[in-house]
């Protein structure tokens, strides 16, 4: 994580990055935005990526640690584990609250062309940038008060909660549902970002995220 920290006017840079991430996210989710959905998805991904690169090139490069076959395999296996855990949690959640109290993911439930699926997976990289930005900023704040390990744990948990809550509009503003089904998968993705190669690799968490969502979408279509 230390390699990811911004250098020089870090507070200002973190603020700018989070602001651009927030603006990119809200333009994606706001119904009043007249742009086509695909354009909004690309903006959501590209703007934060460019901003991060311009704010601190060394930090940006540190996101892309080389991923070996072992690291890729680890990402695939954890994605499968995440789907299994997600299925169990979702099943229990449905039993507790009832099927009529849950909301499906409209992307997963809609018929899309291969091009739309490609753009969706590009958007997932934007979601990784968003998540890692939150994780990094929380880590940077707490490392002055607690150990680096504890600051990382706090960052992972807060990032997972924020990630889940940002999906509220997708799941009909059902707080219990998004927290129940998305926090654990996001913790797994954060772990893969941090530890796939024993150092941060956003490619690892992106692979994990893509496989997780892809399998979830396929299962939704089948069921």
Tens of pLDDT, residue by residue over 57-81, are 999 999 998 888 888 888 889 889 8
Each domain of the chain, given as residue ranges in start order, spans 67-222
HSE of 118, CA atoms in CB hemisphere, 13 A: 4
What percent of the chain is predicted at pLDDT more than 90? Answer: 52
Span 199-216, pLDDT tens digits: 889 999 999 999 988 887
CB atoms within 10 A of CB 199: 16
Per-position DSSP letters for 53-91, written without gaps between them: HHH-HHHHHHTB----HHHHHHHHHHHHHHHHHHHHHHH
Distance, in Å, from the CA atom of 207 to the CA atom of 195, rounded to the nearest integer, reads: 13
Could you tell me which of 20, 10, 8 has the C-alpha nearest to residue 137?
A: 10
For the stretch 176-189, pLDDT in tens is 888 888 999 999 99
Q: Is the pLDDT assigned to residue 195 strictly greater than 90?
A: no
The pLDDT tens digits of the residues spanning 9-19 come to 999 999 999 99
Mean pLDDT of the chain: 87
């Amino acid at each position: 994580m230390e390699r990811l920290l911004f250098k020089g006017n870090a507070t200002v840079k973190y603020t700018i990055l989070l602001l651009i991430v927030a603006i990119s996210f809200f333009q994606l989710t706001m119904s009043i935005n007249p742009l086509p959905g695909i354009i909004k998805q690309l903006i959501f991904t590209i703007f934060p990526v460019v901003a991060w690169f311009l704010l601190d090139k060394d930090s940006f490069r540190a996101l892309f640690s080389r991923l070996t076959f072992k690291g890729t395999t680890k990402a695939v296996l954890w994605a499968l584990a995440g789907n299994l855990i997600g299925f169990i949690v979702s099943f229990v959640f449905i039993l507790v609250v009832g099927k009529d109290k849950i909301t499906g993911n409209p992307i997963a439930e809609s018929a899309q062309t291969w091009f739309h699926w490609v753009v969706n997976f590009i958007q997932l990289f934007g979601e990784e940038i968003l998540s890692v930005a939150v994780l990094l900023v929380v880590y940077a704040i707490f490392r002055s008060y607690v150990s680096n390990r504890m600051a990382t744990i706090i960052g992972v948990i807060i990032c997972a909660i924020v990630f889940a809550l940002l999906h509220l509009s997708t799941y009909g503003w059902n707080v219990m549902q998004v927290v129940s089904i998305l926090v654990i998968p996001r913790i797994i993705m954060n772990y893969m970002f941090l530890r796939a190669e024993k150092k941060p690799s956003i490619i690892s968490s992106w692979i994990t995220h893509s496989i997780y969502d892809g399998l979830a979408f396929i299962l939704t279509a089948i069921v």
